[in-house]
Amino acid sequence: MSELPSHNRRILIVDDDSSVHHAYTRALSHRRTETDVDAMEDALFGDGTSNAKQASALDNEKFEVDHAYQGQEALAKLEQSIKEGHPYSAAFVDMRMPPGWDGVETIEQLWKMHPSLQVTVCSAYSDYKWNDIVRRLQKADQLLLLRKPFDPIEVWQIALSMSEKWNLSQLHVNQLKTANDQLARELSERKRAEDRARHDAMHDA
């Protein structure tokens, strides 16, 4: 796999309703209107008092959004993203997607392939109990709940926070790998030095 991007904002939307996909696209669009940006500023910073730097930072957060209409399609897209070396950092997954997998099974399959994926569970129905979902999936720290109909600003904020969480987790993994590689090299060098010392001692004897 090629080196991961330092700020991965690749998001996967999994829902069987095309109108919902359009709503996500508008919420995460790169081309927000001035009114949208003002609303986000007020929601994040309060009363329109954000400074120019904060406002500019809002519009600089770009998301790369892909779409799947069934769980099986989502899994295929995830597999392809991993092969490309640019996996999704987060996914928004609907609960009801007949006739294929439901949301829980979809998430299970996605996590088998990409365990660090951050997931937001989306549902308009109360028959999916949050405790039951968490009990089955066993990863409450990688799950959020979003009720439909959703607020576009809420979607944008969740996408940003979940992708940032994924990026931080990958940074931590890479730091651990670097530390482990360095330790392995040091141990290997020490073993070679000890072997040379034993060899020299036997030769001198």
Residue with tokens 């519009």: 59
- Euclidean distance between CA atoms 18 and 11, whole angstroms: 16
- Euclidean distance between CA atoms 104 and 114, whole angstroms: 15
Tens-level pLDDT at each residue, the chain (205 residues): 444 445 899 999 999 999 999 999 999 985 454 455 555 555 555 555 544 454 444 555 689 999 999 999 999 999 999 999 999 999 999 999 999 999 999 999 999 999 999 999 998 876 678 888 888 998 889 999 999 889 999 999 999 999 999 999 888 777 887 888 888 888 888 888 888 878 777 776 6
Query: For residue range 140-156, what is the model confidence (pLDDT) as tens digits?
Result: 899 999 998 899 999 99
Dmax (CA) for the chain in angstroms is: 85
Query: For residue range 116-172, what is the model confidence (pLDDT) as tens digits?
Result: 999 999 988 766 788 888 889 988 899 999 998 899 999 999 999 999 999 998 887
Strand pairing class (90-94; 118-123): parallel
pTM: 0.75
DSSP string across 37-103: HHHHHHHHHSTT---HHHHHHHHH---EEEEESSHHHHHHHHHHHHHTT---SEEEEES--TTS--H
The interaxial angle of helices 152-204 and 18-28, nearest 10 deg, is 70
With a CB cutoff of 8 Å and minimum separation 6, the contacts of 147 are 122, 123, 124
- Tell me how far the alpha carbon of residue 115 is from its chain's centroid: 10
- Euclidean distance between CA atoms 92 and 160, whole angstroms: 12
Enter the tokens of residue 36.
């949208």
- Tell me how far the alpha carbon of residue 23 is from its chain's centroid: 20
Q: How far is CA 69 from CA 103, 150, 157, 166, 181, in A?
A: 11, 18, 23, 23, 41
Enter the tokens of residue 40.
């986000």
Residue with tokens 């690749």: 10
